[in-house]
Structure 1
Amino acid sequence: MLQMNEIPASSEMESNEIASEVDMKSLKALLDKAQERFQIPAYSVTLYKEGTYTHLSYGYRDLDGQIETDHNTLYAIGSCTKSLTVGALCTLIDKGMLSLEDRVRDYIPEFEMADYYVTDHLTVRDILCHRSGLGGHDFSWYSRLDTLTEKEVIEMFRYLPLTQPFRYKWQYSNHMYALAGYLIERVSGETWRDVLRKNILMPLGIDRVALSTSDAISDDNCAIPYILNEESDRIDAVAHADIGVMGSAGCIYMSSADLAKWDALLLNGGVYEGKQIISKALCDQMMSPQMYRDNAIIEPLKDFTQNRAYGLGLEMEIFRGRRMVYHSGHIDGFSAHQTIVPEEDIACSVLTNLGDHSGATIMSYMIVEYCLGGGEDWLEKISTFLDGVTKQQLEMIEQAKHSKPDNAPCPVELKRAEGTYRHPGYGTMEIQADLDKLVIQFGTHTFSAVHYAHQHFFLEPTNLTPNTYIETNLDIDIQGNVIAFEITFEGIKESKIRFERQ
């Protein structure tokens, strides 16, 4: 565990063809500022432009060992995995084994959702563009990955409440991409990892990729994941996340050089070194709007960005008049971003070993801005805006703390809330009383529910729920027995997750 100022100015700059050294030095200087601003231990960037790959790297992939990074270092790419999962599925579609309009239930007959109509009509396209009506529900799996099986995840769907009407609104769902992985296996008779390796990675010449955490850890050039401890302002190493049966939603480790190969394939209509790996028609589908989401544009970008949408495993927007296709990835101790600008024949991959998703994303905007010849300082604009959002969130938390009503004790002694509670989709939690708090053991994670007023509590912020309080409350019967514990995980009061006392 080291202070950030102990990181040296180690760096790598390499191109497989002659590039403008002055230009690349200037770009690297910009990226180094972002590395310093976000206190990123290491980054690796590969820029593909007009057939040329240029690599920029900086910092340590291992702080304690003082080991420098390079463009072949493996990083967890998080949800950038999703576009590769879609790519693997597209190779099966190209072979006529299924279509985007096929119903999920035709291949996974035991599949059910909370709404019977959605169960009957959900298609492959629906799950890939996040329009199923299912919200995030990430707490239903993230805290119990060490025990979940594929069968349990499929059964889970029927108990997760929908938070929007079917095909009405875009809602990001890792569950749907886990389902995409299971679909690949049902259709092909092989694991999704084997299909991906055989149909996408091998044709791209990618023979060094980790499709599981254990494979990544055993690689001798894999970055160590880190987080910034806000209280001590120190960089702490964290454990690699193993997302197991949710792997097709975000488990892949790659180098920036290899992720850029995949982006270049998409940029070139599914062709790599003269080989048609995915049909152009399906590449176009991946990079075409399926669901619009304009409300996702943050304030600093509103004068420069329009028509933000989601395709199939990829996001897109019009940035400075050009179509920009991208996806971010964020998982414990890592953040990543992949970007394609078809009109300018540009693709880039940005990988970092710090669990702050904004760093890699801002660096990608900086790269595109630089390549387009613009002069906007996105590092300053976006990071200042995000700092303001964080400050506002913290002020709201403080305001909530100080606006507690007087004389509003909990109707029952907290000891009476102790016990085991269960939701069929989210699993089991254990609750113990501790002074004015309820300590909740939820899978591998521990939360503290602080009493607010009457039967209402707030979950204290954690690294899983930074800068926010999650509303919770006890359900107490007429005899004073605690019969359930309700948590507003999705941020929608009408969609509380109710854990029944066992």
Structure 2
Amino acid sequence: MKEKTEQYAWYYCEKYLWTKINCMNNMKKLSFLLILILGFQFVASGQTLDDKLKEIDAYANTVMDTWRGPGMAIAIVKDDNVVMAKGYGVRELGKPDKVDENTIFEIASNSKAFTTASLAILVDEKKLNWNDKVSKYLPDFQMYDPWVTSELTIRDLVSHRVGLDTFSGDLLWFNTTYTADDMLKRVRYLKPVSSFRTRYGYQNLMFVAAGKIVEKVSGKPWPVFVKERIMDQIGMTRSVTSINALPDNVARPHNESGGALRVLPQIKGANYEGAYGAVGVNASVADLSRWIRLQLGRGTFEGKRYFRVNNPTKCGSQI
């Protein structure tokens, strides 16, 4: 039974690699690939950890050759230890600078987990509750339906179940100059496609609202709270919460839609600054391996607890 479980875990990771890259290719948005393989078991039948890591390394090189991406990075955490952290390829097409474990990538929507962790910290400090109404903290925030506005909780914001369609409202933030407040003022005009709490619909703007609640309760801007209360605490020394604060050794975005793979211009116009809470974190796999250890430790890192993992935040459950 154990061997079957371990084999399945490796199969899952393998399929994740291919699916992730295939999805990027189908969307015609081939960019740098950041991959974190999270704490899977290794096959026990005579295969050592070193054997498996060599297999993963060979597989990663096959991925690079097959999909012709500029570069990627991999980190693997096992038993609270980083057993692999390595870069492949280059940071920018046509230039020799290599990707390594310290290369900074935009992690896009993976930033949302930092928002929910921030909320969990504030819940632990008894400064808010998952079931608190959003109107308690953002009295001017309105959904299309006044009843939904009155019933909307923090739990709903981070559960993708408010009734809006997937990506509804994204044109309010991407490539605009809107601030977070500007975006949230316009949410009231977005018509739902399903009843409240009945269907999944992936949302960015609800996480912008969640980021604003972090600000309201903590008294600190979301980027500052995340940096001070999470990143600095666990040693994510190269990670930043603003593209205007990027250090050296940064992977550039690429695109192949409409022609050959090419380097994209500076992405500051994407308005990641305005949509903080949903996006905004930039990190390396070396730093993110520490984040993964915090997650696998259920809110505890190197003996210190930063937040409690309870039913509302349990991995794999519906918040």
Question: TM class, shorter-chain normalised?
Answer: 0.7 to 0.9
Q: 2:120 aligns with which of 84, 90, 96?
A: 90
1:276 aligns with 2:305: yes
1:133 matches 2:163: yes
SS of residue paired to 1:21: helix
Cα shift readout 1:406-461 (whole Å, capped 9, x = no counterpart): xxxxxxxxxxxxxxxxxxxxxxxxxxxxxxxxxxxxxxxxxxxxxxxxxxxxxxxx
AA partner of residue 279 (structure 2): G
Q: Residues 19-77 of structure 1: CA distance to partner in whole angstroms, max 9, x if unpaired?
A: 84333222111112222222211111110011321112210012333100100110000
Which of residues 37, 45, 50 in structure 2 aligns to 1:21? Answer: 50
For residue 101 of structure 1, what is the aligned residue in structure 2? 131
| Greater RCO, CA 8 A, separation 6+ | 2
Distance 1:155 1:171 in 2: 20
Q: Which structure's CA Rg is the greater one?
A: 1
Which is richer in strand? 1
For 1:224-263, list aligned pairs within 5 A.
224-229=252-257, 231=259, 233-240=260-267, 241-263=270-292
Return the letter of the residue paired with 1:268: G
CA contact (8 A) 2:64 2:71 kept: yes
Give the secondary structure class of the aligned counterpart of 1:84. helix
Deviation at 1:205, TM superposition (A): 1.1
Contact 2:156 2:162 in 1 (8 A): yes
- Give how far 1:176 is off: 0.5
Matched ranges for 1:414-453 at <5 A: none
CA RMSD of aligned residues (A): 1.8
Preserved CA contact (<8 Å) 2:211 2:222: yes
Contact 1:58 1:69 in 2 (8 A): yes
Cα offset, 1:228, TM superposition: 2.1
Measured in 2, the distance between the counterparts of 1:281 and 1:275 equals 17
**TM-superposed deviation, 1:142:** 3.8
Structure 1, gaps ≥5 residues long: 1-18, 291-310, 312-502
The 1:286–1:250 alpha-carbon spacing in structure 2 relative to 1, beyond 3 Å, is: farther
**Which residue in the other structure is 1:209 paired with?**
239
**Which residue matches 1:422?**
none
Structure 2 equivalent of residue 343 of structure 1 = none
Structure 1 CA distance, aligned partners of 2:199 and 2:227?
Answer: 33
Preserved contact between residue 173 and residue 274 of structure 2 (Cα < 8 Å): no
Q: Which runs of 5+ in 2 are unaligned?
A: 1-47
CA separation in 2, counterparts of 1:189 and 1:175? 21
1:225 is displaced (CA, Å) by 1.1
AA at the equivalent of 1:235:
R
Q: Deviations over 1:236-274 (max 9, x none)?
A: 334324422112101111001111211211111111000
User: Would the alpha carbon gap of residues 242 and 221 (structure 1) be closer, same or farther in structure 2, given more than 3 Å must change?
Assistant: farther
Aligned mate of 1:114, from 134, 144, 150: 144
Structure 1 contact 58–68 (Cα < 8 Å) conserved: yes
Query: 1:229 deviation in Å?
Result: 4.1
- What TM-score does the superposition give when structure 2 sets the normalisation length? 0.79
1:143 deviates by: 4.7
8 Å Cα contact 2:104-2:282 kept in structure 1? yes
Number of the residue aligned with 1:287: 315
1:89 and 1:69 map into 2 onto residues whose CA distance is 33
SS at match of 2:234: coil
> Which residue pairs with 1:433 in the alignment?
none
Q: Which amino acid letter does the alignment assign opposite residue 70 of structure 2?
A: P
1:296 corresponds in structure 2 to none
Partner of 2:108: 78
Partner of 2:248: 220
Letter paired with 2:100: D
Residue 262 to residue 158, structure 1, CA distance change in 2 (3 Å): same
SS of equivalent to 1:280:
coil
Q: Does 2:211 correspond to 1:181?
A: yes
Q: Deviations over 1:373-411 (max 9, x none)?
A: xxxxxxxxxxxxxxxxxxxxxxxxxxxxxxxxxxxxxxx
* Aligned twin of 2:96: 66
CA-to-aligned-CA distance 1:330-387 (integer Å, 9 cap, x gap)? xxxxxxxxxxxxxxxxxxxxxxxxxxxxxxxxxxxxxxxxxxxxxxxxxxxxxxxxxx
The structural deviation recorded for 1:281 is 2.1
Task: Give the secondary structure class of the aligned counterpart of 2:91.
Answer: strand
Q: Please name the residue that 2:72 is paired with.
A: 43
Q: Is the 8 A contact 1:227 1:235 kept in 2?
A: yes
Task: Give the match's secondary structure for 1:100.
Answer: coil
The code of the aligned residue for 2:305 comes to Q
* 1:33 and 2:62 matched: yes
Q: For the Cα contact (< 8 Å) 2:93–2:262, is it kept in 1?
A: no
Specify the alignment match of 1:419 in structure 2: none
1:125-149 superposed Cα distances (whole Å, 9 cap, x missing partner): 001111111222244314552x212
With the length of structure 1 as denominator, give the TM-score of the two structures: 0.51
